[in-house]
């Protein structure tokens, strides 16, 4: 066995050619090692940049969410009468501010006309300030918390971030806006990014794509400065259009950099971590110079010896490389490479075949994950969009119809809040299991949100609404069956919006119509369904409740009155 392995060894064959071949292959190994080292370190450095950017983005998102939650709690606790009593309101703000001084450097309350009623600590020229024309303020008046774009704080005249949350009365009506001004250089806010260092010349930046602005950076000179013009930094341009990950490319100064990009949760901002390529790969550069000097001395002789050895010894390797290259370009399908001899090349080929098998398995797993919801195993929004396009084309060709049922669970949030997310996950999995039993083999059941599902029913005959009603009633019935969690029964319901189409509509309009109909069902008392009008352009639809629910049918428009 050892003798056979020795005779099959590539090293043995090289020894037979002569000492010159051994020397030349040793030098060649150095050359390949440099390329391998450069490629490997490029990959490692790029992944490190992406990891660092992701960590910083998560840290920033956590701190922003912490401050938003703090303001929402204050807004929920704020007595409505304080809007009319400045002294009491200022004292109320002072007490809360002193309890959590790091979560906002300045608090203020504005009424629904945009005037700042009270603030703490007092800011300069408050009486001349008005938020009436501020789009973030207007958005907050709709009842939604808003994380504003960075600006110079009117209180401290330093870069700051403003967060606005609505203040509501007992009836849920927005009566004002509570705001918090967070200075970007405040302790514990963006400290990780501002004080971080990545080698002697690396850097971090927090960027707002909407304003093409550097919000903050570890270089103070870059804070609130505009980004380079389009085309000056190709990698940054890709990030501004939605790319997240890592890569190598020139910056605005023409220096090649390894960059990582990651989105900040809860905002449209992203973090970039960059490091010049030369700083990331110093060992490769030194090794390349050393090998180059040695190669120039014996280049001519080594070239001849390697050429002769390559023609005979490396023919299988060359063939394998050609096949692998064709697979990479898509000219031939992925398949195992032939093993010609059981030498080092043969072992390398077998190892490649094993890696190829694992890669194909991994690709299959990634393909499944990209189109399915992790929790329930149902198709996700991406696969639903594909199925909708296919269903619309088939309905138009076969002259039948489809129905889209947009389902939103009623009563899920109390279970999720009281029993925890693990119990909520079990509920969603059980609901998915029940709905699968309702869906036909040709239908598609997808999860598109937290407790939102979509059922795409195909091959429906006229009138399309009859089949959709039957499916909706089955869904309501199966979801309303009691759930047992921790030896206790819970009751869920479901509100369903329905949109039907004979194929002569687009997927987005159909989904939007079903979504709007679902909100009409919610407003109509829940536990029922609403069918969107034909053509999705009418001013009203019909609300329907399953038999035995005790709910009456009425125009969906009445639910909004």
State residue 520's pLDDT score: 92
CA distance 532 to 406: 11
Alpha-carbon separation of residue 203 from 58, 200, 250, 521 (angstroms): 17, 9, 15, 51
Q: pLDDT tens digit string along 108-119?
A: 888 888 888 888
201 and 276 Cβ atoms separated by less than 8 Å: yes
494 and 409 Cβ atoms separated by less than 8 Å: yes
CA distance 188 to 220: 17
For residue 454, the SS3 value is: strand
CA distance 475 to 471: 6
Given its phi and psi angles, is residue 254 left (phi above 0), alpha (psi -120 to 50 degrees) or beta?
left
DSSP codes, 6-20: HHT-HHHHHHHH-HH
- The catalytically annotated residue of 451, 502, 508, 515 is 451
Mean pLDDT is highest, among 91-105, 220-234, 303-317, for 220-234
CB atoms within 10 A of CB 35: 11
Q: Is the pLDDT of residue 128 over 80?
A: no
CA distance 449 to 493: 17
In this prediction, residue 291 has a pLDDT band, given cuts at 50, 70 and 90, of: low
State residue 283's pLDDT score: 54
What are the CB-based long-range contacts (under 8 Å, 24+) for 230-238? Answer: 235/259, 235/261, 236/272
**Which of 177-191, 200-214, 333-347, 539-553 shows the lowest mean pLDDT across its residues?**
539-553
CA 335 to chain centroid, in Å, comes to 33
State residue 9's pLDDT score: 56
CA distance 115 to 402: 52
In this prediction, residue 479 has a pLDDT band, given cuts at 50, 70 and 90, of: very high
State residue 558's pLDDT score: 31
CA 158 to chain centroid, in Å, comes to 31
CB atoms within 10 A of CB 157: 9
CA distance 379 to 388: 12
Q: Over pLDDT 70: what percentage of the chain?
A: 75
State residue 494's pLDDT score: 93
CA 169 to chain centroid, in Å, comes to 35
Mean pLDDT confidence for 244-249: 86
514 contacts: CB under 8 Å, gap ≥ 6:
404, 405, 406, 454, 497, 498, 499, 532
The per-residue b/e assignment along 245-265, b for 16 or more CB within 10 angstroms, e otherwise, is: bbbebebeeeeebbbbbbbbe
85 and 92 Cβ atoms separated by less than 8 Å: no
Strands 452-460 and 444-447: antiparallel
- Average model confidence (pLDDT) for the chain? 78
**Residue 194: φ, ψ to 5°:** -70, -35
Three-state SS sequence of 157-178:
CCEEEEEEEEEECCCCCEEEEE
Both tokens of 483, joined, read: 């759930």
Q: Is the pLDDT of residue 431 over 90?
A: yes
In this prediction, residue 474 has a pLDDT band, given cuts at 50, 70 and 90, of: very high
State residue 407's pLDDT score: 95
Both tokens of 177, joined, read: 């806006």
**Which of 10-24, 106-120, 496-510, 526-540 shows the lowest mean pLDDT across its residues?**
10-24
CA distance 82 to 80: 5
In this prediction, residue 88 has a pLDDT band, given cuts at 50, 70 and 90, of: confident
In this prediction, residue 184 has a pLDDT band, given cuts at 50, 70 and 90, of: confident
Q: How many CA atoms lie within 13 A of 398 on its CB side?
A: 15
Mean pLDDT confidence for 32-61: 74
Mean pLDDT confidence for 496-500: 94
Q: Is the pLDDT of residue 496 over 90?
A: yes
| Among 290, 343, 300, 348, CA closest to 31 | 290
Given its phi and psi angles, is residue 258 left (phi above 0), alpha (psi -120 to 50 degrees) or beta?
beta
345 and 316 Cβ atoms separated by less than 8 Å: yes
In this prediction, residue 549 has a pLDDT band, given cuts at 50, 70 and 90, of: very low
**Which of 16-30, 47-61, 324-338, 505-519 shows the lowest mean pLDDT across its residues?**
16-30
State residue 297's pLDDT score: 65
State residue 282's pLDDT score: 61
CA distance 74 to 218: 32
> pTM for this one?
0.44
State residue 541's pLDDT score: 43
State residue 553's pLDDT score: 38
What are the CB-based long-range contacts (under 8 Å, 24+) for 300-304? Answer: 301/20, 301/24, 302/23, 302/24, 302/27, 302/28
Domains within the chain, CATH numbers bracketed: 78-183 (3.30.450.20), 381-560 (3.30.70.270)
In this prediction, residue 427 has a pLDDT band, given cuts at 50, 70 and 90, of: very high
| Among 518, 536, 537, 514, CA closest to 527 | 518
CA distance 469 to 544: 8
**Which of 48-62, 68-82, 251-265, 344-358 shows the lowest mean pLDDT across its residues?**
344-358
CA distance 139 to 179: 13
CA distance 428 to 163: 33
State residue 551's pLDDT score: 42
Whether 451 is catalytic: yes
Q: Is the pLDDT of residue 16 over 70?
A: no
State residue 12's pLDDT score: 60
Dmax (CA) of the chain? 99
In this prediction, residue 519 has a pLDDT band, given cuts at 50, 70 and 90, of: very high
| Integer Rg of the chain from CA | 32
Q: Is the pLDDT of residue 15 over 70?
A: no
Q: Is the pLDDT of residue 337 over 70?
A: yes
Query: Higher-confidence residue: 359 or 529?
Result: 529
Angle among Cα 453, 458, 460 to the nearest 5 degrees reads 125
119 and 126 Cβ atoms separated by less than 8 Å: yes
Q: Is the pLDDT of residue 440 over 60?
A: yes
491 and 433 Cβ atoms separated by less than 8 Å: no
Which position has the token pair 């020139």?
Answer: 250
In this prediction, residue 454 has a pLDDT band, given cuts at 50, 70 and 90, of: very high
Q: pLDDT tens digit string along 361-396?
A: 666 666 767 778 888 889 998 899 999 999 999 988
CA distance 383 to 76: 39
In this prediction, residue 303 has a pLDDT band, given cuts at 50, 70 and 90, of: low
Q: Is the backbone peptide bond immediately before 407 cis, with ω within 30 degrees of 0? A: no
CA distance 492 to 479: 6
| Among 201, 189, 214, 223, CA closest to 271 | 214
**Which of 176-190, 295-309, 447-461, 532-546 shows the lowest mean pLDDT across its residues?**
532-546
In this prediction, residue 481 has a pLDDT band, given cuts at 50, 70 and 90, of: very high
Both tokens of 494, joined, read: 């479901």
């Amino acid at each position: 066995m050892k003798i056979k392995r020795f005779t099959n060894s590539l090293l043995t064959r090289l020894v037979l050619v002569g000492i010159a071949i051994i020397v030349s292959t040793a030098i060649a190994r150095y050359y390949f090692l440099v390329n391998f080292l450069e490629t490997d370190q490029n990959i490692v450095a790029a992944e490190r940049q992406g990891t660092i950017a992701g960590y910083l983005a998560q840290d920033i998102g956590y701190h922003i969410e912490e401050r938003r939650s703090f303001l929402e709690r204050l807004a929920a606790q704020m007595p409505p009468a304080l809007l009319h009593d400045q002294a009491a309101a200022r004292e109320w703000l002072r007490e809360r501010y002193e309890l959590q001084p790091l979560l906002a450097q300045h608090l203020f309350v504005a009424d629904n006309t945009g005037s700042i009623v009270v603030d703490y600590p007092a800011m300069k020229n408050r009486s001349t300030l008005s938020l009436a024309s501020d789009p973030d303020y207007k958005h907050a008046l709709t009842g939604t918390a808003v994380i504003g774009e960075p600006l110079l704080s009117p209180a401290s005249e330093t870069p700051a971030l403003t967060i606005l949350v609505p203040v509501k009365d007992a009836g849920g009506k927005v009566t004002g806006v509570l705001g918090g001004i967070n200075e970007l250089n405040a302790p514990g806010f963006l400290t990780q990014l501002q004080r971080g260092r990545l080698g002697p010349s690396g850097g971090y930046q927090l960027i707002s794509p909407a304003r093409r602005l550097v919000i903050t950076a570890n270089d103070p000179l870059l804070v609130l400065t505009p980004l380079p013009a389009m085309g000056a930094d190709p990698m940054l341009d890709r990030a501004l259009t939605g790319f997240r990950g890592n890569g190598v490319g020139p910056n605005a100064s023409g220096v090649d950099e390894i960059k990582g990009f990651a989105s900040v949760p809860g905002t449209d901002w992203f973090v970039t971590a960059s490091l010049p390529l030369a700083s990331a790969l110093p060992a490769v550069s030194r090794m390349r110079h050393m090998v180059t000097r040695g190669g120039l001395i014996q280049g001519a002789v080594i070239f001849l010896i390697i050429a002769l050895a390559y023609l005979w010894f490396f023919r299988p390797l060359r063939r394998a490389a050609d096949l692998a290259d064709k697979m990479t370009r898509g000219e031939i399908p992925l398949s195992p490479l032939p093993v010609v001899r059981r030498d080092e090349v043969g072992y390398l080929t077998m190892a490649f075949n094993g890696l190829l098998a694992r890669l194909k398995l991994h690709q299959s797993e990634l393909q499944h994950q990209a189109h399915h919801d992790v929790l329930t195993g149902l198709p996700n929004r991406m696969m639903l969009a594909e199925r909708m396009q296919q269903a619309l084309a088939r309905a138009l060709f076969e002259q039948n119809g489809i129905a889209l049922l947009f389902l939103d669970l009623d009563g899920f949030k109390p279970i999720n809040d009281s029993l925890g997310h693990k119990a909520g996950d079990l509920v969603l999995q059980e609901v998915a299991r029940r709905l699968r039993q309702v869906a036909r083999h040709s239908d598609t059941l997808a999860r598109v949100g937290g407790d939102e599902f979509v059922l795409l029913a195909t091959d429906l005959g006229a009138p399309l609404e009859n089949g959709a009603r039957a499916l909706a009633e089955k869904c309501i019935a199966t979801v309303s069956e009691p759930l047992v969690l921790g030896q206790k029964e819970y009751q869920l319901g479901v509100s369903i919006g329905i949109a039907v189409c004979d194929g002569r509509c687009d997927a987005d309009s159909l989904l939007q119509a079903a979504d709007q109909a679902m909100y009409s069902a919610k407003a109509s008392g829940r536990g029922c369904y609403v069918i969107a009008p034909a053509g999705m352009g009418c001013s009203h639809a019909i609300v329907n409740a399953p038999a035995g629910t005790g709910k009456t049918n009425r125009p969906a428009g009445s639910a909004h009155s």
